[in-house]
């Protein structure tokens, strides 16, 4: 039996073609993973940007409420002295006026920062939207003698349940972003 060299080389071309297909396939998978990570980062950056805007807007709202109290003398800004629940939701009243949410008795409705499951549904910013956010503000320090309060505005996603890792940090997955915190000083 005589073996032709031509058929041997034709077989080698087929093997080379299979190897080329495998290399292209592997590189395609790697490129798709890079594209997926890039899109995920882009969506997270957009979410963080939106949350930042809501937090800065919330700081302005809190300052407006404090200014209302200063101008009118009516108690519209809570004093959390001795209260462990020092977080509040803020609502739009009318026009450019805002108010701190109150209960049926007309008392300020406080939340604890640890009760995320409670206030994430109670302090919703944009109901009916695709990405729904909540916003609360917490009074970290309140000093009437110096006429200022240090306020922490917290904005987060209502559809995200944050998990705490063993070292106490919040963990999120996929397109989720952990709660955004913004500190500001409010003149009283």
- The confidence score (pLDDT) of residue 86 equals 86
Most confident of 15-19, 55-59, 92-96, 97-101: 55-59
* For residue 165, pLDDT beyond 60: no
- The confidence score (pLDDT) of residue 135 equals 93
* For residue 35, pLDDT beyond 90: yes
pLDDT, average across residues 147-157: 91
Query: How does pLDDT run across 72-94, given as a tens digit for each residue?
Result: 888 888 887 767 778 999 988 87
Q: Does residue 177 or residue 135 have the better pLDDT? A: 135
CA 182 to chain centroid: 11
- The confidence score (pLDDT) of residue 16 equals 83
Please give the backbone phi and psi of residue 169, each rounded to the nearest 5 degrees, phi first. Answer: -90, 150
4-18, 20-34, 59-73, 100-114 — which is least confidently predicted? 4-18
For tokens 């396939």, the residue is: 25
The answer for residues whose C-beta is within 8 angstroms of residue 42's C-beta and 6 or more apart is none
Nearest CA to 40 out of 151, 129, 173 is that of 173
Please state, rounded to an integer, the average pLDDT across all residues of the chain: 83
């Amino acid at each position: 039996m005589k073996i032709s060299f031509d058929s041997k080389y034709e077989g080698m071309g087929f093997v080379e073609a299979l190897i080329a297909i495998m290399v292209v396939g592997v590189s395609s998978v790697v490129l798709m993973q890079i594209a997926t990570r890039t899109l995920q980062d882009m969506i997270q950056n957009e979410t963080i940007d939106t949350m930042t805007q809501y937090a800065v807007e919330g700081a302005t709202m809190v300052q407006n409420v404090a200014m209302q109290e200063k101008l009118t003398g009516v108690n519209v800004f809570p004093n959390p002295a001795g209260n462990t629940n020092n977080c509040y939701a803020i609502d739009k009243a009318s026009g450019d006026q805002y108010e701190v949410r109150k209960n049926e008795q007309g008392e300020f409705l406080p939340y604890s920062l640890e009760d995320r499951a409670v206030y994430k549904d109670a302090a919703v910013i944009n109901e009916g939207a695709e990405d729904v956010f909540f916003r609360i503000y917490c009074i970290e320090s309140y000093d009437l003698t110096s006429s200022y309060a240090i306020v922490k505005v917290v904005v987060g996603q209502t559809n995200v349940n944050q998990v705490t890792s063993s070292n106490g940090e919040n963990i999120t997955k996929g397109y989720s972003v952990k709660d955004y915190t913004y500190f500001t000083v409010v003149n009283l």
